[in-house]
A = this chain, B = another copy of it.
Amino acid sequence: MALLAIDFGGTRTRAAWFSPEAALQARAEMATPSGPADAVIARLIELAQSVIPPGERPAAVGVSAPGPQAHTGRILHAPTLPGWHDVPLAARLAGAFDAPVAMENDANLAALAEYQRGAAAGCDPALYLTISTGIGGGAILGGRLFTGWRGLAIEPGHIKFPLPDGRILSLEDLASGTALGRMARERLAAGSVPSSLRTAAVIDGKTVGTAAMAGDALATAVVQEAGQWLGLGLVCLIHLFNPQVIVLGGSVARLGELLLNPARQVIAGYLTDPAFNHPDLLRPSQLGDDVCLIGAALYAQASLG
């Protein structure tokens, strides 16, 4: 029997129908609606129903969701879902589709997908980082998804760094899309350096990234700073996991070398032993926007035993 996969993201929500071998058959997506949980879940079910062939029923439903507690099947709290509190999403979907639901953290499922089908194939340990609105991560250790004692690992976005002004911020406050927007707004307010961003209607990760790719000096400096913080976070991951590969996904990772060059310089400068490093350590995600959908399908497939 076939599989239903749902990627419930902070910005976009996707659903897809997969063959029993987890090959993608049909997909649909929408902007993630905002509002109370009941209304959002109703829209989610509608979207998923649109990819199910007439007369079919999924053998299992794989769900990718934000937050370290996703594996419980409940959305306890997620910065991208204001107002949601302890919502039993998996149970609601199980009822709607009359099928068992396997729900996991989005970045954990992305790690699984890149390991089984993408840039991390054959690599162990394999780490995955998604850098978009926030920063999430997943780890494959010894051929299996590693989630720690209570299923909460890994959360690289919450590596902490003290700032010169005394604040202690998370990696995701310093290198995510959200961080790019904040840092650009701060630099614009603090000086009078000319920048194409001064006339931009919105200053966020997307517009800062676009301006940097177009050569805007202020935006480039912001991306460079984010890349250095990312590098410092990666130094931590490398010393702790000695990974064979770190796959970088998410919208901010698409800035490519603009972000990765400063990160690579920090890595080369701060590893205690050069044997931790190798030229192919950082790799771009190969599965793109569907990475969590594919991970959810693989996870649903595995849940059937």
Contact = CB atoms under 8 A, between A and B. Distances in A.
Interface stretch (A32-40, A152-160, A190-198): A152-160
B160 A242 contact: no
Contact of A152 (B148, B150, B154, B273): B273
A124 B149 contact: yes
A244 interface: yes
Q: State the copy count for this chain.
A: 2
B162 A148 contact: no
A180 interface: no
Contact of A125 (B149, B161, B242, B271): B149
Contacts of A69: 273, 275
Contacts of A152: 242, 273, 275-276
A178 to B, nearest CB: 15
A244 B149 contact: yes
A272 B141 CA distance: 23
B148 A125 contact: yes
A305 interface: no
B273 A68 contact: yes
B68 A272 contact: yes
A158 to B, nearest CB: 4
B158 A239 contact: yes
A258 interface: no
Given A141-B141, A240-B237, A161 B161 contact: yes
Interface in A229-253: 232, 235-237, 239-244
Question: Which applies to chain A's interface (DSSP): helix, strand, loop or mixed?
Answer: loop
A237 B158 CA distance: 10
B154 A240 contact: yes
B242 A168 contact: no
Contacts of A236: 159-160, 236, 240
A241 B153 contact: yes
Interface string A130-153: 000000000001101011111111
Contacts of A239: 153-156, 158-159
B150 A242 contact: yes
Interface string A63-90: 0000011000000110000000000000
A276 B218 CA distance: 38
User: Which 5 A-B pairs give the minimum distances between C-beta atoms?
Assistant: A148-B242, A153-B242, A149-B244, A152-B242, A155-B239
7 contacts: A153-B240, A154-B239, A158-B235, A161-B162, A236-B236, A236-B240, A240-B240
